[in-house]
Amino acid sequence: MWRIKTLRQSAAAACHTLRHGKSTKIMRPSMSSCRHLHSQKAAVVSCMEKQEWPHHASQSMTTLAAFGLGALTLTTVTYMQAAPGASDIPLKEENAEPGKVVPGAFKPDLPTYTLADVASHVSTKGGGVWVVYKSGVYDVSKFIGKHPGGSKILLAAGKSIEPFWQIYAAHNHADVHVILEGLRVGNLDPADVQALEEERLKKYGDGPYANDPERNPLFKVNASQPFNAEPPAELLTESFITPNDLFFVRNHLPVPDIDASTFKLEIAGLGVRSGNPDQPNTVAFTLDELKKTFNEHTIVTTLQCAGNRRAEMSAVKPVKGLSWDTTAVSTATWTGVLLSEVLAYIGVSEEQHCRAFPSACPTCANLPLTNDYPSECSSTIEHCHLEGLDKDVTGQSYGASIPISTALDPRKDVLLAYSMNGEPIPRDHGFPLRAIVPGTVGARNVKFLGRIVLSHEEYPGFWQQKDYRGFSPMIDYATPDFSKYAGPSIQELPVQSAITEPKPNATWPPEGSEEADVMTIKGYAWSGGGRNIIRVDVSLDGGATWQEAALDPLGVRQKYNRAWAWTPWSLDVDIADHMTDVKLVCKAVDSSYNVQPDSIAPIWNMRGVLNNAWHRVDVAIQKPPPSSGDDDEDDEDVEGDK
C-alpha cells in the first residue's frame, strides 16, 4: 500500500495537471515498487471529488480510484484535449481574468496582418523577424540575442511558434507570456488563425505527446511535456538497484515508438569504411546483428542529471530549468555491447590519426609519415556523436557527444545497451538502444540511439553547444551575449551526496513510530569519472561536528576508478532528551579526495547545474513524554510487595 501523504501529493499533482491542461499518463505501480513500501491505509484526494476539471478536459476522464486495506487499484488516467473546434475560437482579451496576461488573445486596438505579411518578415535586416502565436503577431528581432535557446528561435521566423511550444512546453509559463506580449505588434487575420489551427490538428492530432508511455504515479513530476520526473526520496535508497518504474525520467522531446524488428543503428563519419560505394562512410547494424556479432557485457552504473538539486540552487538565486530535488539520480544494471568493440570491428581503434589520405590532407600533406598528427587536422577523430531517434517539429533529434578517447577505451565500459535490469529497456529510458556512458552526466547517455558519427568537432546540436555547460556565478541572463561566457560542455560530474531520509522539515519520531531514541539517516553518494566514494561525513549541528557514516559494501567493493555506481550510506544517531531540533548535513569524499563545497553561493550558475554543495535537512525533535500509566503500574507493584 502507498503512504497516505505520498498519495495525497500524487493526487494533488494530478489535479494540478488537469487544471493546467497538461497531458500525461499514470500507471499502476509494479510489485517491485510496492515491495519498498510499508503496508498501511491510504487515501487519495481525487480531482473528481473536487470537481476541478479544466475547460478543455473530457468529461469521460477517469481518475484515481479509492481503495481499502487489502488492495490498491489505480486506473490509468488519460488527459484528453478538447474536440476539434473547441480551441480554434480566437481568444479575446476582455475575457481574461483581471491582471492576467493571455498570450495570443485578439486585441482590437492593434492592426491586423495576414500570414503572408508575417512570412515576409524573416530577417533582422529586412523588416524584422515576426512570429505568430494564436491570434497574435510578434516582432522578436530584439529578443533573439536574449532567447535561452539562442538562434533556434529563427526556425519559427515568419511562421507560428505554436508547434514549437507544443514540443517545448516550458514556454507555457506566465513569465514567458509576459515577455511574448511585450513584443506584440498586431493581430493575425482570423481566416489564417483558423487555417493554422486546422493544420496543427491535422499534423499532431491529440498532440505530439499523446503516445507517451504510462508512468508511475509516485513520481514528482517536474514537467509533463516533455515528461520529466523523479521518485520519492525515501524510496530511492531502499535498494542498491533502482526498479525500472522508479528510475528518474529525463526526456527532451516526445518519446518515439520504435519497431525493434526494423530498427538499425547507423555509424558514420571519419575512419568508417563500409565497402558500399553508395554509402562509403556509413555502416548499419540491426539489433539482432549487434547481439550476435559482439560479446555481451553487463555493468551497474548510476545516471545523474546535471540539474540534480537545482531546486536548492534556485532558493539562493533564481535559475532556469526544471526544478529537480535530490532524486534526479538512479542506478540500474545495463546489458549490451561495448562501443569500443563495435568501433574496432569497423576499423576505428585509434583516436589521433589522420583519416584522410595524408597526401590529400592540407594540414598533413607535408609532414613525415607518422601517427602523431596535429590536433588542427580536420581529419583526426576527436569526438563521438550520439544521436537519438526522438525528434522535434523540425525533424531535429536530441544528440550529444563524448570524447573519442572515452568511446575507444574498453576500460570506460561505454555500452550500446538494449537491456535494463534484465528487461528490454523501457520506452521512457531509451528503447530499443541506449548509449550508456558510465561516470558521465546523464545528458550524454543518449536514449533511442539511432546514429553514431565520428567527427573532428563536437555534436552541433543545441543541447551540446548551448545547454549543459557551466557558468561563473557572476554571469546571468541579463549579461549581454551571455552564451560566450559558457564553459566547456559537461562530461564528468563532481562528487555528490544527499540525504534521502529523513525528509526536510520532518518531525522526529515519525508518526506511528515507537522508536524515538535512535534516528536512522540514509542517503547516497557518487562521483563522476568512476572515482570511488571513500567517506561520507554527517553532522547533526549544521557542520560544527561530524560523524562518519557506514558505506554500503556493494558501493565500496567497486574497482578503483571504475566505480560507476553510487554508494548508499546510513548512520544511526542517538537523539538526546534535551534535543529540540537537528540540522543534518552530509558531505562525501571521493578517491581523489575531492570533497563537496559547504555552500551553494560560490558555485551558483544561471543554468542551475552542478549543484554539489553540502546537503542540509532540518528535523524537529518532538519526543513523547513518559507514560503516566507506566508509573502507576510500578506503584501498584510496590504496594503489592508490601
Arithmetic mean of pLDDT, 294-314: 98
Contact 550, 520 (CB under 8 A): no
Arithmetic mean of pLDDT, 398-408: 97
Question: Residues 429, 435, 439, 441: what is their CA dihedral angle, to the nearest 10 degrees?
Answer: -60
Residue 391 forms part of a structural domain: yes
Same domain membership, residue 246 and residue 182: no
Higher pLDDT, 208 or 292: 292
Same domain membership, residue 295 and residue 160: no
* Residue 268 belongs to domain with CATH number: 3.90.420.10
Report in angstroms the alpha-carbon separations of 391 from 168, 170, 544.
12, 17, 50
Same domain membership, residue 216 and residue 200: no
Residue 426 forms part of a structural domain: yes
| 50-64, 188-202, 402-416: the lowest-pLDDT one | 50-64
Arithmetic mean of pLDDT, 73-79: 29
Percentage with pLDDT > 90 across the chain: 59
Domain range enclosing 544: 496-595+612-621
One-letter amino acid at 591 equals: S
Question: Predicted confidence band at 424 (pLDDT cuts at 50, 70, 90)?
Answer: very high
Strand segments, DSSP code E, in 225-296 are 227-230, 249-250, 264-269, 282-286
Q: How many residues does the chain have?
A: 642
Total domains in the chain come to: 4
The H or E element that residue 631 is part of is: helix 628-641
Same domain membership, residue 568 and residue 553: yes
Q: Where are the alpha helices (DSSP H) in 317-466?
A: 339-345, 404-408, 462-465
Annotated catalytic residues are 147, 171, 250, 305, 468
Task: Summarize pLDDT for 531-550 with one digit per residue, the tens.
Answer: 999 999 999 999 999 999 99
pLDDT at 421: 98
Question: Predicted confidence band at 627 (pLDDT cuts at 50, 70, 90)?
Answer: low
Residue 146 has pLDDT above 80, yes or no: no
Residue 91 forms part of a structural domain: no
Residue 301 forms part of a structural domain: yes
What average pLDDT does the chain have? 82
The three grid cell numbers given for residue 631, joined into one nine-digit string: 508509573
pLDDT at 80: 29
Residue 628 forms part of a structural domain: no
| 114-118, 578-582, 603-607: the lowest-pLDDT one | 578-582
Same domain membership, residue 449 and residue 306: yes
Percentage with pLDDT > 70 across the chain: 74
Residue 518 forms part of a structural domain: yes
Residue 376 has pLDDT above 90, yes or no: no
Residue 631 has pLDDT above 70, yes or no: no
pLDDT at 72: 29
| 297-311, 404-418, 576-590: the lowest-pLDDT one | 576-590
Same domain membership, residue 357 and residue 304: yes
Report in angstroms the alpha-carbon separations of 295 from 192, 269, 290, 323, 425.
57, 24, 9, 40, 18
Pairing state of beta strands 449-455 and 264-269?
parallel
Same domain membership, residue 367 and residue 303: yes
Same domain membership, residue 321 and residue 445: yes
Same domain membership, residue 189 and residue 128: yes
* Residue 136 belongs to domain with CATH number: 3.10.120.10
Last residue of a domain, one of 405, 435, 470: 470
Same domain membership, residue 395 and residue 268: yes
pLDDT at 359: 56
Higher pLDDT, 51 or 243: 243
Contact 344, 287 (CB under 8 A): no
Same domain membership, residue 350 and residue 213: no
Residue 629 forms part of a structural domain: no
Arithmetic mean of pLDDT, 155-161: 88
Arithmetic mean of pLDDT, 226-233: 96
Pairing state of beta strands 615-621 and 506-508?
parallel
DSSP state for residue 118 in the 8-state scheme: H
Most confident range (mean pLDDT) of 99-103, 105-109, 374-378 is 105-109
One-letter amino acid at 523 equals: G
Residue 430 has pLDDT above 90, yes or no: yes
